């Protein structure tokens, strides 16, 4: 296969000599996308410093608990990571989505250690949006994370029950209201007492991930970890 399709880095396009398997990132792109050593608040994924985080939790999360229990991210939605997330929305960038999923899985197993979740739930995509784009990048991302961690994916566990505007098209103050009560859980999945891993590409206000969390917790999930490729920081 390597002779027919010589492997190239899925982000920068450089040639990968003697590359075997996935992820298809060169060493410098892997380092670029994994903010190893930068502390992130485990409650909301905001980057902090050893001084601003107490017990790995930021002041905001100490004052106000969020619906989810933990957030894992590769880094801040900025620079190359932002470019990668934007490219991941294109139908032609499936190898980039899969490779990013494998990096996110590595981050998860490093941070969660032996406390890996029981199942993966992707943040759903509106049917109309999926048709327009021709791909469901978050679904593919979730599949790649799940396969790497050897976890089941509950693809249709959470669905939209009404139409919503695109979160990124709205000002921050309207985003919570836009997704409030937008989701419902499918009754056929028994997730009682489970630790669920909710996957999305980017998280900014946390409103969407929060609503999905509320739905899976109402269906009986005991714990929810949210994993996103990038954490958008509010300006
Ligand atoms: Zn590269
Ligand atoms: Zn926090």
pLDDT digits (tens, 9 = 90+) for 112-162: 888 899 999 999 998 888 888 889 999 999 999 999 999 999 998 999 998
The rounded Å distance from CA 16 to ligand 2 centre is 38
Helices (H), the chain: 27-33, 59-63, 79-87, 94-112, 127-133, 137-149, 172-179, 207-218
Ligand 2 centroid to 184 CA: how many Å?
Answer: 26
Local confidence band at 108 (pLDDT 50, 70, 90 cut-offs): very high
Interatomic CA distance for residues 201 and 142, integer angstroms:
9
Q: pLDDT for 31-61, tens place per residue?
A: 999 876 778 899 999 888 766 778 888 888 9
Q: How far is the CA of 44 from the centre of ligand 2 (A)?
A: 4
Q: What percent of the chain has pLDDT over 90?
A: 64
Structure tokens at 162: 């009404």
Q: Which ligand is nearest to the CA of 40?
A: 2
DSSP 231: E
The structural domains of the chain, with segments of one domain joined by +, span: 39-231
- φ, ψ (nearest 5 deg) of residue 102: -70, -40
| Distance of alpha carbon 141 from alpha carbon 150, whole angstroms | 14
pTM, two decimal places: 0.92
What's residue 120's pLDDT? 98
101 CA distance to ligand 2 middle (Å): 23
- So what's the pLDDT on residue 5? 63
CA angle 55, 59, 62 (to 5 degrees): 70
CATH architecture of 39-231: 3-Layer(aba) Sandwich (3.40)
Is the per-residue pLDDT at 183 higher than 70?
yes
CA 105, CA 3: separation in Å to the nearest integer? Answer: 28
What is the 98 CA–ligand 1 centroid distance (Å)?
Answer: 15
Token pair 């608990």 in the structure block, residue: 65
Predicted pLDDT of residue 235: 54
CB–CB of 72/111 below 8 Å? yes
Measured CA to CA in angstroms, residue 163 lies from 8, 178, 180, 228 at distances of 39, 9, 11, 23
């Amino acid at each position: 296969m390597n002779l027919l399709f010589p492997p190239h880095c899925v982000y920068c396009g450089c040639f990968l000599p003697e590359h075997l398997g996935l992820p298809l990132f060169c060493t410098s792109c892997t380092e670029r996308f994994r903010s190893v050593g930068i502390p992130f608040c485990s409650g909301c994924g905001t980057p902090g410093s050893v001084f601003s985080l107490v017990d790995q939790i930021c002041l905001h999360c100490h004052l106000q608990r969020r619906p989810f229990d933990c957030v894992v991210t590769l880094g801040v939605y900025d620079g190359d990571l932002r470019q990668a997330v934007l490219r991941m929305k294109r139908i032609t960038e499936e190898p980039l989505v899969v490779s990013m999923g494998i990096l996110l899985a590595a981050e998860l197993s490093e941070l969660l250690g032996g406390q890996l979740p029981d199942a993966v739930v992707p943040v759903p995509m509106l049917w109309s949006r999926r048709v327009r784009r021709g791909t469901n990048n978050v679904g593919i991302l979730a599949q790649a994370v799940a396969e790497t961690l050897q976890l089941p994916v509950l693809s249709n566990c959470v669905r939209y029950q009404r139409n919503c505007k695109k979160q990124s098209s709205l000002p921050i103050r309207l985003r919570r209201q836009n997704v409030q009560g937008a989701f419902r859980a499918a009754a056929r999945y028994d997730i009682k007492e489970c630790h669920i891993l909710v996957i999305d590409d980017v998280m900014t206000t946390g409103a969407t991930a929060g609503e999905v969390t509320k739905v899976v917790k109402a269906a009986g999930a005991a714990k929810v970890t949210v994993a996103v490729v990038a954490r958008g920081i509010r300006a």
